[in-house]
Amino acid sequence: MDPPAGHAYALRFGRPQDNPTRVSVGMLALNLALFSAGVAVVRLGARRLRSHL
């Protein structure tokens, strides 16, 4: 029972109303990753700034 060839493509790149839960979970994960990366950059910058002062 293989899905059609375009099935995974449609799930990944489909319109948000096609599969709202998958899209919102993906956006949440993306936002979380961006936020954690930003926090890490800010912490590293603050640590470097403090070491220079």
Residue-averaged pLDDT of the chain: 77
Reading the block at residue 36, the tokens are: 């954690």
Give the tens place of pLDDT for each residue, 38-53.
999 999 999 998 997 7
DSSP run (H or E) holding 20: helix 20-52
Residue 8 — pLDDT band, cuts 50, 70, 90?
A: low
Tell me the pTM: 0.51
| Mean pLDDT confidence for 21-38 | 88
Distances (CA, A) of 3 to 14, 19, 45: 16, 16, 48
Which amino acid, residue 27?
Answer: M
